[in-house]
Structures are given as C-alpha cells and as structure tokens.
Amino acid sequence: MTLLVPDTTARSLAGRDFLKEVDLTVEEWRSLVALAAELKMARRLPGRAPRLAGRSIALLFEKSSTRTRCAFEVAAHDEGAHVTYLDPASSHLGHKESVADTARVLSRLYDGIEYRGSDHALVETLAAYADVPVWNGLTDDWHPTQALCDVLTMLEHSAKPAEQITVAYVGDARNNVARSLLVAGAMMGMDVRMVSPAELAPGADAVQHAERIAAVTGARLDITSDRHRGLAGADFVHTDVWVSMGEPPELWDRRIALLAPYAVDDALLEITGNPQVRFMHCLPALHGTDTELGRQLASRTGRTSFEVTPEVFESERSIVFDQAENRLHTIKAVLVATLAG
C-alpha cells in the first residue's frame, strides 16, 4: 500500500469537526488515511498505550446502524475512551430541545459528538454550537467515514499508487456514498467514474467540489450513463443499495427499472477487461431474499437480487468485509486526530 503523506499532518486536525470531505485539505484527508493504516497496524501490537484515555464521546443516532455504531464504539474503547449511545428515543434532539441547545449541553459533558441522521444541516448546526469536535456518521448528503474506509481498502488491495487507481461507482450515484466517493477519489488523485442513469447522476454541487479538487490533484473524473465507457479498465467496482427500508413502495418499481442494467453481475465485471477487478459495497447489500426488504422486493418485482448478484458478492473478487473492518480503523483515525492531535 502506498501512502502519500506522513500521518503527522493529521495533528493539524486537533479540535476540528469532521463533517464532509471538502472541509479538509487534500493533505489533511490523505493524512487521515495514513493515520488509519498506522493505527490498524498498531492494534496488533502488545502493550500499546491508549491515546484517548479519560475522554468521553456521545453518539447521537437518529438513523439505525450496524457498522457505524460498532466502529465508533470499538474505536473509542480501543483507545481508552468512554461512549454514550443515544438513539432517537433517548434524547430530546429537535423535539423538546433545539439542536443548538443539545450541542451546548453535550459540549459541557463530552469531548466529542458523533451524529448519524438524515438532514446534513443538523450536523452542521451541532458543529456550529458545540465547543468540541463533531463527526458526521452519515447524513443524506455525505458519508465521509465510509469514503475514508473505501480509500484505505483500495490502497490495501492495489499495488498501484493512488493516482493510478481507477474506481467505478455503478448504480444510484446521487446518494451520500457516491457523492463522498467522488470527492474522496478526487482528493487521492484517482480516476473516478460515476456510472448511472442520467437522472440518478451525482448532484452538481458534488461534481463541482470534485472538479475543483481534481484541478489540484490531477484526478480524472467521468460522469456517464455508458457502462462500457465508465467501467473500462476499472480496478474497483463499487455500488450501493437501490432502495432503502422505509422508502415508499411506489418508488421501487421506477428505481429498479432504471437501475437494472447497472446491477453488478459477472457480465458487468467482464466489461472492465480486468481479471483482477475487485467488488466493493458499503453494506448492507441486497444480494438475495434472506432479509425482510429483499423478500418484499422479490415479492413485488420477481427479482431475487438487486444491486449485486450473490455470485459476485460471495466471490473472491468481493472485498466488502475488508471495507467493513476498515470502518473501525478509519473512524479511529478521525477520533485520534481530532481529540488527541
């Protein structure tokens, strides 16, 4: 794995918020990747000293989670910090108490605050009123901790330097994962392709952010609906779910019809022309009918897999569980950089 900058740059993030990729410089972003790699190696060493001993962290979750919650909790505990988990029923956030007031209260009690929810404006408000670092665990607009782990995973699975890596995101490219990957890839100087139906392409703001960064890093960006153009030569093919639990069923038929040609199966991976291509997914994935949502969709559509087939998901080309593990190490890097300096 080629790391581009020393992790010492991460020290400049002490006391800072981590809300979206574009709030960081290229050097700061790359330093977090380097720090994550260092902390991943250090976790295996005996006798290591925790870097966050005595710190306390609040986790505000308005959306349910597996990987984000577990990664924040284990990362904090590994480094000696204490964690309080607050689900929607455990706080008055936005209901009986304003977001600004919640931020000011929690700042008196905790050394850092994580937020996972829908409206990105809420995490920005938390950060504006909190006196401690605020971290974005996911909003509808951005998913920066996922993008960090995606970058680390690609570097681990490629002998190429970042500037020579090609990643193609396939599917609904408007969502938070795609937007964050587009900007993160630009930060790393990668060749980044967003491959989707035109009406599901990334928003203009994300594209403009990525283009501005690419002008500095030399990244190559391509927003296309042409699968052959977007996938040719890709080292990594990344996707995400087409529909989410809670979305109205009337949206499903239209969305699935639009995205069916972009399902990741063996034939789609063959378009890359790369026998070493790797498959990525932020999880959870709909690759069968062993989930409630999968069964609902199968009953409605007759399909038994959606954004990825079980053959690809379970194949040796799939590195999705390496991604899932790396959520831990990259989130730990964010905590250490912003709290320990």
User: What is the DSSP code string of 9-56?
Assistant: GGGGGTT--B--GGGS-HHHHHHHHHHHHHHHHHTTSTTPPPSSTT-E
Q: List, in order of start, the domains of the chain with CATH numbers.
A: 7-142+326-340 (3.40.50.1370), 158-318 (3.40.50.1370)
Residues of 68-107 as b/e, b for ≥16 C-beta within 10 angstroms?
Answer: bbebbbbbbebbebebeebeeeebebeeeeebeebbebbb
State the Cα–Cα distance between residues 262 and 120, nearest whole angstrom.
28
Q: Which residues are catalytic?
A: 116, 143, 146, 240, 282, 327
Q: What is the DSSP letter of 85?
A: E
State the Cα–Cα distance between residues 14 and 35, nearest whole angstrom.
13
pTM over 0.85: yes
* Beta bridge pairs of residue 123: none
Give pLDDT tens digits for 208-262: 999 999 999 999 999 999 999 999 999 999 999 998 766 787 888 899 999 999 9
- Band (pLDDT 50/70/90 cuts) for residue 131 is very high
Give pLDDT tens digits for 188-199: 999 999 999 999
Q: What is the mean pLDDT of residues 265-281?
A: 98
Q: Which tokens is 155 given?
A: 């570097």
Give pLDDT tens digits for 160-198: 999 999 999 999 999 999 999 999 999 999 999 999 999
| Residues 85 and 76: beta-carbon distance below 8 Å | no
Q: What integer pLDDT is reported at residue 250 of this predicted model?
A: 80
Q: Residue 318 half-sphere exposure, CB side, CA atoms within 13 Å?
A: 20
Please report, to the nearest 10 degrees, the dihedral formed by the alpha carbons of residues 144, 148, 150, 154 taken in order: 150
* Beta bridge pairs of residue 136: 115
State the Cα–Cα distance between residues 141 and 247, nearest whole angstrom.
17
